[in-house]
A = this chain, B = another copy of it.
């Protein structure tokens, strides 16, 4: 007898303030028996849905959290896993799908899986700055925990060569105090030191703080894991308190 049809919802919480949550997130969470969350996010979930059971998990146990959720959903339980921002960008969606496939799930049978997208930190920070990611851009994490630094640097070189605006996630931690300095050095080889840049701390969360600067004098020591760093490309301009990346043909028209 298999009366229970498992369900696994992988839900983006957005940047923090519930104002930037997708409307789908609340009903998707409300439809499950339990929410599995990295411990500091439990309060956010409880504030969204008072009374819903939330299981706190420690940091560093992402794969274990995904495996546990997958196993329970595969066995017929109805569970949700949450990610800050978008679960598909440096989040839990990939880990949960991998865990399900390791259990023999083929994407068609139970559990039913739903991924609820969210506003990732790059978009949240950009909305505070103006429109620095208005044209083409890249998102890059400077954490070398699961990606070797050589590949991160190769990607920075490519972003420099391609004149792409970039949003840098995880720019600096106590264990990696020089990651952002090294990234700035790579980009400086390709970009004018006057290129507009910004550090956005706690974007769309309490304590939000925006610092606009130039690439040449970006103060890397101000960044933390709660900072999203945006570095413009050659068509990014500073307009007072805002950064805007122009489409190159508009810029050329202006110059002519």
Residue ranges of A at the interface with B (Cβ–Cβ < 8 Å): 14, 18-24, 86-91, 93-94, 97-98, 101, 105-108, 115-120, 123-124, 126-128, 130-141, 145-148, 151-152, 154-155, 157-159, 161-164, 204, 239-242, 244-250
Contact = CB atoms under 8 A, between A and B. Distances in A.
Contact of A130 (B18, B115, B126): B115
B154 A127 contact: no
A136 B130 CA distance: 23
Contacts of A98: 239, 244, 246
Contact of A117 (B89, B127, B163): B127
Contacts of A119: 22, 86, 117-119
A147 B247 contact: yes
Nearest to A247: B146
Contacts of A130: 88, 93-94, 97, 115
19 contacts: A20-B23, A23-B23, A86-B119, A86-B123, A86-B127, A97-B130, A97-B242, A106-B241, A108-B241, A115-B128, A136-B141, A136-B147, A138-B138, A146-B250, A147-B247, A151-B248, A158-B162, A158-B164, A162-B162
